């Protein structure tokens, strides 16, 4: 078992093999180590993975099962589903400090060293063998799989300098270890596993399953102790030749990730991931209905037949859209010398820049791409309007336009003008008051007014004339 209550520094830990034996430390495999620590976390009621939302009832239970079973794991999911974040978080399940044979390049276990260098050192010095301590943050390795990834990158290669020193090519000491051996007694992750060529997949399988590898015509035994974790796109992780069957069989658990299933979860992710929108003395206040619109745009995009779903619609789209919406509102406030601002529906036009690079629209020309984006925004505004504005209240507001009332909106319309407007439209004021939920700032009121008017237009309750960054709303009857 591991030394209990490990210190935050390795200075007070055993420095020789003899001291390590006297301390009571016992060796165990990395999977057993993670298993034991996972048990402790689950029993204590703590979260196994922090900073990842929306997986508590789906992915996390599957991950707990896989770790308790001691399985190698592959995460299947489209981009932006926190696969890499989950994988990197597994490091926290390792013991804080781990002893290795002093100077070992591949984290040799002092009780059962693997490399020839470590074996010879232990045989020569016995209990006086020096011990180094490795922090868990250094027991993780990661490689993005690319078609040009080589055996040298993952497993190792003959070091010509060591050969020039007089060693034979067949001497194990001539080997310069790759990423996988250097992650011995730790976690090794491969992102986008199907992009590895079949030849490299075979080499990886050999070192993980057969415990040996052939380099430059000679075989080296490498009985490594590794938790292998990988990520892949579901469309690539198939039997069509992208993954060799023996390597696919190596993974004990296959866990399917997903995008946030509820709008509320998407909003929570955005609040966690997006940067602070306020700058200097200008404060940005983002109403909940505007957050909901941005999140709904992503959800509608994931269900749209006009968007390539194979590439996915990442949560990063929602975060980027939220940040750009707030940035456009900030720019508007700076031009108007306002110290407080809230994003409005008119700011959503700016999201074309943050959306274009994150989704693949299955249309022929740029004009149609713009139409798809406009449809997503309009659909999101209409959906949020229907959830927040009842038909009865919408009818009462529409009645206030029946006598020829006209309302102008746009970037150059100051927030205080919307506050003044509400004094002449009690029904609109009642709806806005309910929307702002106690926030009486002029900026938020202006945002709510624009949202209600645009929503009613999309619901065919009001007419709208738009030109030059401004919009005019009027009754459908009088027009």
- The model carries a pTM of 0.86
Q: Catalogue the E-assigned strands of 80-205.
A: 97-101, 131-135, 140-144, 156-158, 175-177, 186-191
**Low-confidence winner among 18-32, 93-107, 166-180, 389-403 (lowest mean pLDDT):** 166-180
What value does the mean pLDDT take over residues 418-435? 94
The pLDDT of residue 321 is 96
Q: Assess if residue 1 is contained within a domain.
A: no
8, pLDDT greater than 50:
yes
> Does residue 206 share a domain with residue 85?
yes
Mean pLDDT across the chain, nearest whole number? 89
**Low-confidence winner among 47-51, 71-75, 171-175 (lowest mean pLDDT):** 171-175
The pLDDT of residue 287 is 95
Q: Assess if residue 120 is contained within a domain.
A: yes
State the pLDDT confidence band at 5, using cuts at 50, 70 and 90: very low
> Does residue 252 share a domain with residue 267?
no
Q: Assess if residue 2 is contained within a domain.
A: no
Burial of 186 (0-12, 13-18, 19+ CB in 10 A): buried
457, pLDDT greater than 70:
yes
Q: Assess if residue 245 is contained within a domain.
A: yes
Q: Assess if residue 10 is contained within a domain.
A: no
Q: Which of residues 193, 228, 256 is at a domain's end?
A: 256
> Does residue 277 share a domain with residue 233?
no
Range of 219's domain? 17-256
434, pLDDT greater than 90:
yes
In three-state secondary structure terms, 130 is strand
52-64 tens-digit pLDDT: 999 999 999 999 9
> Does residue 282 share a domain with residue 145?
no
> Does residue 344 share a domain with residue 371?
yes
* Greater pLDDT, 111 or 155: 111
> Does residue 335 share a domain with residue 204?
no
56-100 tens-digit pLDDT: 999 999 999 999 999 999 999 998 899 999 999 999 999 999 999
> Does residue 233 share a domain with residue 114?
yes
Q: Assess if residue 373 is contained within a domain.
A: yes
Q: Which of residues 231, 256, 281 is at a domain's end?
A: 256
In three-state secondary structure terms, 245 is helix
Name which of 373, 426, 454, 371 is nearest 463 in CA terms.
Answer: 454
202-238 tens-digit pLDDT: 878 877 777 666 666 667 777 889 999 999 988 877 6
> Does residue 143 share a domain with residue 21?
yes
Name which of 142, 225, 141, 239 is nearest 185 in CA terms.
Answer: 225
Residue 173 structure tokens: 């000491």
Name which of 292, 141, 100, 158 is nearest 230 in CA terms.
Answer: 141
CB count, 10 Å around CB of 427?
Answer: 16
End-to-end CA distance of the chain, in Å? 81
The pLDDT of residue 199 is 82
Q: Residue 75 is part of a domain; what is its CATH number? A: 3.40.50.300
Name which of 37, 53, 117 is nearest 85 in CA terms.
Answer: 53
> Does residue 132 share a domain with residue 75?
yes
Q: Assess if residue 7 is contained within a domain.
A: no
Q: Assess if residue 12 is contained within a domain.
A: no
Q: Which residues, including other chains, have CB under 8 Å from residue 245's CB and lie 6 or more apart?
A: 239
> Does residue 166 share a domain with residue 100?
yes
Cβ-contact 130, 102 below 8 angstroms: yes
Count of structural domains, the chain: 2
> Does residue 225 share a domain with residue 271?
no
Q: Which of residues 256, 276, 294 is at a domain's end?
A: 256
255, pLDDT greater than 90:
yes
What value does the mean pLDDT take over residues 182-196? 92
> Does residue 228 share a domain with residue 204?
yes
């Amino acid at each position: 078992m591991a030394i209990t209550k490990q210190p935050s520094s390795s200075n007070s830990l055993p420095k020789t093999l003899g001291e390590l034996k006297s301390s009571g430390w016992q060796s165990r495999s990395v999977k057993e180590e993670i298993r034991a620590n996972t048990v402790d976390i689950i029993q204590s009621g703590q979260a196994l993975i922090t900073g990842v939302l929306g997986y508590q009832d789906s992915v996390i239970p599957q991950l707990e099962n896989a770790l308790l079973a001691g399985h190698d794991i592959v995460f299947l999911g489209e981009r932006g589903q926190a696969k890499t974040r989950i994988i990197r978080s597994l490091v926290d399940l390792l013991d804080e400090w781990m002893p290795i044979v002093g100077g070992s390049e591949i984290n040799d276990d002092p009780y059962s060293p693997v490399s020839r260098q470590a074996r010879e050192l232990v045989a020569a010095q016995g209990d006086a063998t020096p011990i180094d301590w490795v922090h868990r943050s250094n027991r993780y390795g990661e490689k993005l799989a690319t078609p040009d990834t080589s055996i040298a990158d993952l497993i190792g290669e003959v070091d010509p300098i060591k050969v020039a020193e007089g060693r034979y090519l067949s001497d194990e000491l001539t080997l310069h270890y790759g990423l996988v051996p250097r992650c011995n007694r730790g976690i090794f992750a491969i992102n986008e596993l199907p992009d590895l060529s079949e030849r490299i997949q075979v080499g990886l399988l050999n070192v993980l399953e057969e415990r040996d590898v052939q380099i430059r015509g000679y075989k080296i035994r490498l009985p490594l102790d590794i938790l292998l974790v990988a990520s892949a796109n579901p469309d690539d992780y198939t039997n069509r030749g992208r993954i060799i069957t023996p390597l696919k069989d190596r993974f004990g658990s296959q866990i399917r990730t997903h995008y946030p299933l509820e709008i509320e979860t998407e909003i929570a992710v955005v609040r966690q991931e997006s940067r602070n929108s306020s700058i200097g003395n200008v404060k940005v206040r983002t109403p909940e209905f505007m957050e909901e619109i941005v999140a709904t745009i992503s959800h509608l995009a994931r269900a749209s037949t006009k968007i390539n779903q194979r590439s996915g619609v990442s949560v990063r789209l929602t975060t980027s859209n939220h940040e750009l919406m707030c940035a456009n509102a900030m720019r508007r406030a700076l031009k108007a010398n306002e110290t407080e601002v809230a994003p409005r529906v008119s700011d959503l036009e700016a999201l074309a820049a943050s959306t274009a690079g994150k989704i693949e629209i299955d249309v022929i020309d740029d004009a149609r791409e713009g139409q798809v984006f406009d449809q997503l925004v309009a659909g999101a505004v209409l959906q949020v309007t229907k959830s927040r504005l009842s038909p009865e209240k919408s009818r009462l507001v529409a009645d206030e336009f029946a006598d020829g009332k006209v309302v102008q909106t746009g970037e150059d319309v100051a927030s205080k003008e919307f506050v003044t407007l509400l004094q002449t439209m009690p029904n609109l004021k009642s709806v806005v008051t309910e929307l702002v939920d106690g926030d009486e700032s002029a900026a938020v009121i202006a945002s709510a007014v624009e949202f209600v008017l645009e929503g009613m237009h999309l619901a065919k309750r009001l007419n709208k004339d738009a030109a030059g960054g401004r919009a005019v709303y009027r009754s459908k009857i009088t027009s």
